[in-house]
């Protein structure tokens, strides 16, 4: 921390001799010059004046060439300390929060390397926090030059996601890296892959040429979005995008409903209709009112099972239904009188 000369009160000035007053003025003028030259900066978080070249991270996005919060306060924010005596609790989430404030890139793999490097042979933490090592590296190494928070790579997951979301995002990121390369942030990979999957779900994609067109469309859409967000003109990008649509024969004027249906396979159309316009659930009282399901289960499935000698639910249904149309001969016990059996079959003598 740099100590600045404080202005003296009227009483203090009276107590000083002429020589001391002159020296105090010189010291005060020197400190004022240090402030105007941005040699020292006031940290708004700890409210102390500190040397700009050693106590603040370089940042050309500010007029003074330094990020306004001092290094010590940034590390304290990352380590989530409310007091200097608190134990450090540095997490990925706290690091990402501070890097987002600073608009600096976050790379999950590189940060994990910094965490490993912050542990000595006895597995005890060194004085330097992983964040301090990380921010120093990305501020000096050329591969990080010009990178911002939007270029961050979070690995296969983002903070606050459920396990199901992490698994789905992992699938999307892996597929996107394989298709578009690794030189994109995680957010960009999500966007590119979702755009590509949306294209191939709506239009036929059976050849390598069609795949490449849809990949180019996804790339160009990302460039248009970034240019629009940055307030840059998109005329040339829009023209290229339109040319790609023409090449794929999928411009809006070319894809009326009839043309769209003709260009799709039956399976693609069925999938689209099932996803966008599924049939509603049938009321229970209206389900199978003509007993078509029973007929199929009994006379098709049940009959086939009966012929094959299978014993299952369909066989039972078949036998139950067929019992209505089956005539069974009467059965008699062996000890029944034969005269009674004869009379039941041919009638008694009194009947003639």
Q: Give the Cα separation of 115 and 129 in Å (integer).
A: 8
Do 214 and 199 contact (CB within 8 A), yes or no?
yes
Q: Give the Cα separation of 335 and 227 in Å (integer).
A: 102
Banded model confidence at residue 142, pLDDT cuts 50, 70, 90: confident
Q: Is the pLDDT of residue 72 over 70?
A: yes
Between 212-216, 266-270, 293-297, 338-342, the lowest mean confidence (pLDDT) is in 338-342
Q: What is the pLDDT of residues 18-33, one digit of tens each?
A: 666 666 667 667 777 7
Q: Give the Cα separation of 103 and 19 in Å (integer).
A: 50
Q: What is the mean pLDDT of the chain?
A: 78
Share of the chain above pLDDT 90, in %: 5
Q: What is the mean pLDDT of residues 86-90?
A: 84
Q: Give the Cα separation of 24 and 17 in Å (integer).
A: 11
Q: What is the pLDDT of residues 180-218, one digit of tens each?
A: 887 777 778 888 888 888 888 888 888 888 889 999 999
Higher pLDDT, 286 or 256: 286
Share of the chain above pLDDT 70, in %: 72
Q: Give the Cα separation of 302 and 298 in Å (integer).
A: 5
Query: Cα–Cα distances in Å, from 289 out to 278, 279, 281, 324?
Result: 22, 18, 15, 21
Q: Is the pLDDT of residue 71 over 60?
A: yes
Between 48-62, 109-123, 291-305, the lowest mean confidence (pLDDT) is in 109-123
For 41, the enclosing helix (H) or strand (E) is strand 40-43
């Amino acid at each position: 921390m740099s100590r600045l000369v404080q202005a003296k009160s009227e009483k203090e000035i009276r107590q000083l001799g002429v020589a001391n007053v002159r020296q105090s003025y010189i010291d005060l003028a020197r400190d004022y010059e240090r402030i105007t030259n941005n040699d020292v900066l006031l940290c708004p978080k700890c409210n102390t004046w500190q040397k700009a070249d050693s106590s603040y991270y370089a940042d050309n996005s500010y007029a003074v060439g330094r990020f306004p919060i001092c290094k010590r306060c940034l590390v304290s924010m990352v380590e989530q300390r409310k007091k200097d005596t608190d134990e450090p609790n540095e997490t990925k989430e706290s690091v990402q929060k501070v890097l987002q404030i600073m608009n600096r890139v976050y790379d999950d793999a590189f940060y994990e390397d910094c965490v490993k490097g912050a542990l000595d042979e006895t597995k005890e933490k060194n004085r330097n926090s992983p964040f301090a090592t990380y921010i120093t590296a990305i501020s000096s190494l050329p591969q990080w030059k010009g990178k911002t928070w939007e270029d961050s790579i979070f690995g296969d997951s983002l903070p606050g996601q459920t396990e199901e979301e992490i698994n789905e995002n992992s699938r999307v990121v892996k597929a996107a890296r394989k298709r578009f390369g690794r030189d994109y942030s995680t957010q960009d990979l999500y966007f590119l892959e979702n755009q590509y999957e949306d294209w191939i779900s709506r239009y036929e994609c059976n050849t390598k040429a069609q795949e490449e067109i849809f990949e180019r469309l996804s790339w160009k859409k990302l460039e248009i979005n970034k240019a629009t967000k940055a307030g840059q003109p998109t005329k040339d990008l829009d023209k290229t995008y339109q040319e790609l649509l023409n090449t794929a024969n999928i411009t809006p004027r070319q894809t009326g409903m009839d043309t769209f249906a003709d260009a799709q396979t039956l399976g693609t159309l069925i999938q689209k209709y099932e996803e966008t316009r599924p049939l509603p659930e049938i009321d229970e009282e209206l389900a199978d009112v003509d007993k078509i399901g029973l007929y199929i289960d009994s006379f098709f499935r049940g009959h086939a099972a009966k012929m094959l000698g299978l014993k299952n639910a369909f066989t039972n249904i078949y036998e139950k239904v067929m019992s209505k149309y089956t005539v069974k001969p009467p059965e008699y016990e062996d000890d029944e009188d034969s005269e009674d059996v004869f009379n039941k079959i041919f009638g008694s003598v009194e009947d003639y």
